[in-house]
Structure formats: C-alpha cells, structure tokens
Chains A and B, each alone.
Chain A
Amino acid sequence: MKKIFFPLTVCMAMVLLLTGCSSDDASSIRVGVIAELTGDMPAVGESCKKAAEMAVQQVNDAGGIEIAGKKYPLKLFIEDNAGKADQSASAAQKLITQEKVHAVIGPNATRYALPASEIAESSKVVLITPWSTSPKTTLDAKTNAPKKYVFRACFIDPFQGRVVAKFAMDTLKAKKAAVLYDVASEYNKGIAEIFRETFEKNGGAIVAFETYTTNDKDFSGQLTKIKKAAPDMIFLPNYYSEVPLQIQQAKRLGIAVPFVGSDSWGSQELLKLCGKDCEGYYFSTHYAADAATPVATKFIEGFKAKYANLPDDVAALTYDSFGLLFQALKSCGTLDRGAIRDALAKIPLYEGVTGNMQFKDGSGDPTKSAVIVKIKDGKFVYFASAAP
C-alpha cells in the first residue's frame, strides 16, 4: 500500500497541473452545462445535453459569436450532477474555478439548481437554469432580494400553480380537488401549496392534501384516503418517473377522476412509462410542439433532423437559455463576467422557442406565458394557453 502511494500522489499532482494549464485560453467563449445525466431523472439531463450541443454547434458552424469586432467560437463543458444536490454544487465549483467558464447553464430541477445557484452567485458568474420553476432559485435566502447572477428561462411556480388551479375550476368544473405530492422536494411542495391557495381562494375545496417522500413507490395508503374524500380531480405536481406509478395505483384502487399535472410531466419518458394509463389527462407546461411559432418550428425541425425525436420542454428551455446568453453576449461587447450579467438583466425582448421573454427590474425571472397540454393518442397535444 505504501509503495503505490507515492507514484499515485505524483500522478494526481500531474493531472492537476495539466488540467490547470490547459484551461486558460482567451480565444473562446467557455460555457458550462450541469445536467442530470444519471440519477432519478436522466431523461431531463439527456434533453438538456442534446439541446446544449445543438445550440453550440449552430453558433460554431456560423463562425462563433462576434464580440467587439472579433468572432469567438464557443467551447462547451458538460458536467453530470448524478441527480444529487451536493454534486450539483461541486460541478458548479469545478466549472467556475477549474474550467473558468463565462457562464453556466443548468441544473434543471430546482433541488439541484438551488445549491448550484448559490455557488454561481458567490463566484459572480452568470447561471441560467432552464427548468427550475421555484421562486427560491433566483431569490437570496436571507434578504429575499433577487440574486444578481442567477437567471432562468422558464416561468415560476406561483404562476404555474395559479394556471392549473384556474384550469381545474374553469375547464374541468372541479369543486373538490385532491393533491398528492412529494413533500421532500422543493418544486412539488411549492407548486402544491400555491395550487391549494388559489383553489380555495376561488371557492373550491381541497378535500385531501397528501404527501410522500422521494423514492417512495407505494402510494396505496394516500390514494385510499383520497378515494374516500371523493374529489372531482387529482393534482399530481410530481416528476415523470413517479406519476405513472401514482396513476396506475389510483386506477387499481378504482379511482376514476381526471388527473392534472405540472411541467414536470413534460418528458417523452412519461408516455413510455405510462402506456395507456395517462391518456386524456392534462398538465401545464412551457410550450407545445404542435402549436409552435416560426422560431419554435425552426428549432423543432433542427432537433428532429439531428436526434430523430421531438424535443421536450427541457430541450426547448435549454435552447432558450443559450439563446438568452448569446443575445446578452452580442450586446455586451466584452467577455467580462460582470458585463455579461448586466447585459442579460437588461434584455428587452427575446423571441424564444418557448415564447417571448424579457427580464425586468433586476429580477432573474422572465415574464412569459404558459400552455396547457393534453395527452391524446400517446402524444402531447396543445390544449389552451395562459398569459402572464
């Protein structure tokens, strides 16, 4: 053991030296991506990675981004956070200190975006999360003021919770609603609470408000309780890997009311895992591939040509995160991290795949609209939209 220790230390020191040297060149724009490539939501990470590679390739094929008269190519660094909060923070640390990136895109889920955003904020590097919808991601925990360096490309949970509650009351004519959500996850909990608040304020009744914790597979106790409360609809603001189990178990218990979800349903994996069980249900999300603007159509065609499948909302939002960053880079005229942040915060209008966005009053949350999607014949189909 002692004999191999010395060569091992030497090796490690050399690796550190080598990587230390290679990462210092000023001829390119360095963008880091933190994605959930493994862990409990690999489909999210995969979409994010694909869209990131596509966005970067498109810019590099056109010669790069022009800053102060000189064209800079983009260099992409992709890190896996393994679906863990601590690895998200260390990935952000690595990208910022070791790879010296100019901006970070990701992580996507709120529970991973939160720790990474803290690192970005304290290191004064722009971080754009494509998919984290919790208000907390862009707010400072102590002062409740907007974080300076953290942005997102999606709407926030309070907006989404209100959209779903309104939809349940107006379109589904629900008066009694039940909610089942993951109490250990920031995103699910936040959106469930806003839903309850809005639903009750508008004269509805929440007859069951049940919880479970991440990685639970058995929901029979909670669902039996929900069945006894006899709701008109059930709201499941949970991730795509859990929703199929919840709906299947509910059906096995003889529950026949409609289920409604949030943007965490919006992965093609949901359709694979759910089979026919999710047919006819609704969820709120960022965009619908079949009701797209010209900008979106161009992106969808490009994505389909490159990867032979439809982009989900994470892919679209990742692409928009890069779009926002590119627009900021073009307008700021320097590669200074602080200047990039200022340019981003002042974007007056960005026409993205997921709709038009703008950043106002130093906040990292864009103003934009949401859509309701229906699952029909094994596809996500546009149903309605809701303005900000």
Chain B
Amino acid sequence: MTYVFQQLLNALQVGSIYALIALGYTMVYGILTMINFAHGDLFMVGAFFCFFAAIFLNLPFVPVLVISMVGVALLGVVIERCAYKPLRQAPRVSAIITALGVGLFLENFTLALNPYPKQVPQLLANTTWIFHGVSISSIALFIVILSLLLMLMLDLIVRRTMVGMAMRAISWDKAVVPLLGVPVDLIISLTFAIGTSLGGAAGVMYGLAYPVIDPYMGIMVGWKAFISAVVGGIGNIRGAMIGGYILGALEILVVAVMPSTYRDFVAFVLLLILLIFRPYGILGKPHPQKV
C-alpha cells in the first residue's frame, strides 16, 4: 500500500510538470489552430533563465521564478511577432515548420553559449518527510501545489476576465471577433505570453526537481506535454491539465507494475487506444469542417 501511494506521489509530480507545459500548447492551438513546437524549448530556456538568475544575480526563489516567467513570456511574444505573425495567412504547414525551426534555433543557441550540462543550485530547502513509510520531499510537494495554483489562476483568467473572454471569442471565430473591436493581435500576444510563462515556470520547477539541465532537455518533455495536450483534447485548457496528469500517472504506473523497459511502449499504446475511442481527446469537441 505504501508502495502504491509512493508511486502515486511520483506520478503527481511528473504529471504536474507535463500539465503546465501542455497548457502552453493547448492555449496557442486554441487561439491560432497552430502547434507551437518551439514550446518545449521555451521550457528549456525557462530552466536556463532560472540557472542564470540564481547563479549570476544570486537571487532567492521567488524573484528567480518571476524573472524566468517574465523572460520566457517576452521571448514567446517576440517569437510570435517575428516568426509566426508574418505566416498567419500562410498554409498551416509553413507555420508548423517555422515553429520547429524556432525550437532548433533555441536549442542550438543555448548550446553555442555553453554546451555543458548545468547544475541548478538548491533554491529551496529540501527536506524529506517519512510518513508511514512513504517519503514525501518538500520539493515534490511544492511543485504539485505551485502547479495547481498556477493552473487555477489560468482557469480564472480565461473564464472570469475580459481578456479571457476575448481569448475564448477569438478561438471561437476569428473572422467576426475583430469586427466587434477586439484587438486580435494584442490578445494573441497575451495568449503567447501567458502560455509560455507557464512553460517558464515549469522549467524552473523542473530545475528544482531535476537539477541537471542541458539544452536538449526540452525535446522529450515537450513531446510528452504535446501528447498530453492532444489526449486531453487540444485547444481545451482543462483537458490539457487532465492529459498531463494522465500521462504522468501512466508512465509511473507502468513502471510500477511491469519491467521499466516497457514504460513508453505500454503508456503510448494505452494513449493510442484512448484516442481511437475519443479522437478529439478527453474533453475535446468535434469541430465539423466548414465547407
């Protein structure tokens, strides 16, 4: 029983990070119907911002988190303005290729700065409590709580504010909303800023939990977060959160009951089966193509 509980805790930690990153994919898709494949690398940049802020500016955790989130958000907006906006009317494939290119650029730019894996300093005291045989580390607990808080905030922004309403309106109908006086470009930039800043926050937390960071760390995590977003129903914010936790749980639980070599294979077969029965994802709704 303690074993199962320990594995569930592990799953919660992994799932929280997937969920936070998945939100970035799903928000951009929701508003632009485009997949921002550079998002995983923005997450990596977040971890590096955290490293630089902690080492060179010697800041404690909260300013480090703020710097990383704001830094990545600005970078996200710049990328949107320079790389994606000129292609908004171009075929969808061009935008996706551009996103892949931006991702490669970010990886290799970071690589050119310094190829060595970096150790993120311990920004938070790390204590481990043993509770009925289950080890709970303060960092794992902190990651889960902070992720849930950030997701709650996002949910409030999207559902309760004018900006959120504008976002939902644009994702509903891009043709009519500008006619109503909604500043589409500004809202798209804001969406990018919010989505990527969550990725930046995930990068910081990832750096706390797995303190060795390198320029390629965003690739695999990015893919898995993207899959989480699709499983949850891409474009749906709550779906992305659920998808992240589902993928985290699957990965950990497959390891818990089967040889760990089967992890990705079994986890992704299960996700494929899920998509066969619910091709639009768990919370996604089918959009009939307008002819």
Listed in ascending order, the chain A residues whose CB lies under 8 Å from chain B are 37-40, 42-43, 183, 209-213, 215-218, 220-222, 224-225, 227-228, 241-242, 244-245, 248-249, 251-254, 269, 272-273, 275
Contacts and interface: CB of A to CB of B under 8 A. Distances in A.
18 contacts: A39-B115, A40-B216, A210-B260, A211-B261, A212-B260, A215-B219, A217-B206, A217-B210, A218-B14, A221-B252, A221-B253, A221-B260, A224-B3, A228-B3, A245-B211, A253-B6, A254-B128, A275-B119
Contacts of A248: 211
Given A37-B115, A42-B115, A245-B211, A252 B256 contact: no
Nearest to B10: A220
B161 interface: no
A224 B116 CA distance: 29
Contact of A244 (B10, B115, B119, B261): B119
Interface of B: 3, 6-7, 10-11, 13-14, 111, 115-117, 119, 126, 128, 130, 135, 137, 139-140, 206, 209-212, 214, 216-217, 219-221, 251-253, 255-256, 259-261, 263-264
- Most interface-central of B140, B206, B214, B216 (chain A CB within 10 A): B214
A40 B211 CA distance: 15
B285 to A, nearest CB: 32
B10 to A, nearest CB: 4
Contacts of A275: 119
Contacts of B260: 210-212, 221-222, 225
**Which A-B residue pairs are the 7 nearest by beta carbons?**
A221-B255, A220-B10, A42-B115, A217-B210, A254-B135, A38-B115, A221-B252
Contacts of A269: 116-117
Contacts of B3: 224, 228
Mostly, the B contact residues are helix
A228 B221 CA distance: 27
A252 B137 contact: yes
B138 to A, nearest CB: 9
A225 B7 CA distance: 9
Nearest to A217: B210
Contact of B220 (A211, A216, A273): A216
Contacts of B210: 217-218, 245, 249
B256 A38 contact: no
Contacts of B128: 251-254
A213 B255 CA distance: 13
Contacts of A251: 128
Given A217-B217, A252-B126, A254-B135, A244 B212 contact: yes
A211 B255 CA distance: 9
Contacts of A225: 255-256, 260
A218 B253 CA distance: 13
A241 B220 contact: no
A225 B220 CA distance: 23
Given A224-B3, A224-B7, A273-B117, A40 B214 contact: yes
A50 to B, nearest CB: 14
A242 B216 CA distance: 13
A213 B259 CA distance: 13
B250 to A, nearest CB: 11
A269 B212 CA distance: 11
A244 B111 CA distance: 21
Contacts of B212: 217, 241-242, 244-245, 273
A269 B119 CA distance: 10
A211 B261 CA distance: 6
Nearest to A253: B135
Nearest to B135: A254
B126 A220 contact: no
Given A252-B126, A269-B117, A211 B259 contact: yes
A264 to B, nearest CB: 14
Contacts of A221: 7, 10-11, 251-253, 255-256, 260, 263
A228 B10 CA distance: 14
A34 B43 CA distance: 31
A249 B140 CA distance: 11
A245 B212 CA distance: 7
B116 A220 contact: no
Contacts of B211: 244-245, 248
- Most interface-central of A222, A241, A254 (chain B CB within 10 A): A254
